[in-house]
Amino acid sequence: MRIQNQMIKTVHPGGHNHEMAPIENPWTSMEEMLIVLSVISSFESPTVLELGTQIGTTSVNIGRVLSKIGGRLLTLDVTNAADTMPTSQVTEVPDAQTAGSLITYEPERVQDCIDFQLFDARLPDGSGMTPILDTFTKAHGDFDVVFFDGDHSFDGLNRDASLVAPYLSFDGVRLYHDVWWDCTPPPVDGPIRYLGGGNGEFAINVINLTHVGTDAGSVQRMRERGL
Ligand SMILES: C[S@@+](CC[C@H](N)C(=O)[O-])C[C@H]1O[C@@H](n2cnc3c(N)ncnc32)[C@H](O)[C@@H]1O
């Protein structure tokens, strides 16, 4: 509890001001949220990319921090599921009205730090997310922090992470959410397979953001299943 209070003070300069306190959703624990926010607040005026806005819970928390320390958040979502998306994730895709809707309730100074964009992941020519993200990263990088919380399939994450990698700042940090889910068998395995790719690059600047402290046993279960 002491650690958590200390982190709250660190990550939101408003101290215990209610208006600045991080908000929660059922999928992202407060511990995870605080890790994301403390990484972001370790940069001066960072450029942050979030893949997977959904209704905007984490976007709002990031925006609140950025409204105090400077910087901007680019957050993306899709209007429909790409072919790569795991079936278990398809129901997460928000409709156009609810996507990013929490952001609109924030004060102007917070909204000003957030650039929310919604894309059609199924372009008629079938090219989908690749050209979208390619154009987007070229236009808006370099990124200091990237929060990968979009497509959790191996192919989807591999695509998104490869497109973003060249646009990471020198000391940039990548955070991966839902490396496994808190149930057995887990409905997605993309991020954990991706991180286990064994090319060594993950040793330096990646924080393996999993369900911190909520279900340590699931790591063992994943290993037992050879994932
Ligand atoms: C787990 S939710 C995101 C939760 C949100 N980051 C939060 O913390 O509140 C996953 C979201 O990713 C979106 N998504 C799926 N594939 C994506 C992609 N390739 N790029 C960006 N967003 C994607 C889905 O539509 C869904 O809204």
| Nearest alpha-carbon partner for 57 in 81, 39, 73 | 73
pLDDT at residue number 1? 30
Structure tokens at 196: 């286990």
| Radius of gyration, alpha carbons of the chain | 17
Please choose from 35, 36, 53 the residue to mutate so as to test ligand 1's pocket, defined by most ligand atoms within 8 A of CB: 53
The model's pTM is: 0.82
In tens, the pLDDT along 84-110 reads 888 878 888 999 999 999 999 999 999
Ligand 1 mean position, distance from CA 100 (Å): 10
- Which atom of ligand 1 sits closest to the CA of residue 178? 1
In tens, the pLDDT along 108-144 reads 999 999 999 999 887 666 667 888 899 999 999 999 9
Ligand 1: residue whose CA is nearest its atom 11: 52
Q: Please give the share of the chain, as a percent, with pLDDT higher than 70.
A: 70
Mean pLDDT on 193-217: 48
Structure tokens at 39: 């990484």
pLDDT at residue number 117? 95
Amino acid sitting at position 74: L
pLDDT at residue number 209? 54
- Which residues contact residue 149 at a Cβ distance below 8 angstroms, ignoring those fewer than 6 apart? 50, 51, 52, 58, 177, 178
Strand partners, 118: 77
Q: Strand pairing of 47-51 and 72-78?
A: parallel
User: For residue 190, is pLDDT > 80?
Assistant: no
Our measurement of the distance from residue 227's CA atom to the centroid of its chain's CA atoms, rounded to an integer in Å, reads 22
- Which atom of ligand 1 sits closest to the CA of residue 147? 6
Query: What structural domains and CATH numbers belong to the chain?
Result: 2-224 (3.40.50)
Pocket (CB within 6 angstroms of ligand 1): 25, 27-28, 50-52, 54, 57-58, 76-78, 82, 85, 92-94, 129, 149-151, 156, 160
Please choose from 59, 92, 154, 209 the residue to mutate so as to test ligand 1's pocket, defined by most ligand atoms within 8 A of CB: 92
Please choose from 93, 135, 137 the residue to mutate so as to test ligand 1's pocket, defined by most ligand atoms within 8 A of CB: 93
- Which atom of ligand 1 sits closest to the CA of residue 78? 25
Q: What DSSP letter does each residue of 6-41 carry, written as one string?
A: HHHHHH-TTTT-GGGSPP-BTTB-HHHHHHHHHHHT
Separation in Å, CA 54 to CA 151, 172, 189: 12, 24, 20
Q: Is the bond preceding 112 in cis, omega lying within 30 degrees of 0?
A: no
pLDDT at residue number 181? 53
Q: What mean pLDDT value characterizes the chain?
A: 77
Burial per residue of 53-84, b for 16 or more beta-carbon CB atoms within 10 angstroms, e otherwise:
bbbbbbbbbbbbbbbbbebbbbbbbbeebbeb
- How far apart CA 81 and CA 121 sit, in angstroms, is 6
Ligand 1 mean position, distance from CA 150 (Å): 3
- How far apart CA 47 and CA 118 sit, in angstroms, is 19
pLDDT at residue number 140? 95
pLDDT at residue number 88? 77
User: For residue 10, is pLDDT > 50?
Assistant: no
User: For residue 222, is pLDDT > 70?
Assistant: no
Ligand 1 mean position, distance from CA 2 (Å): 32
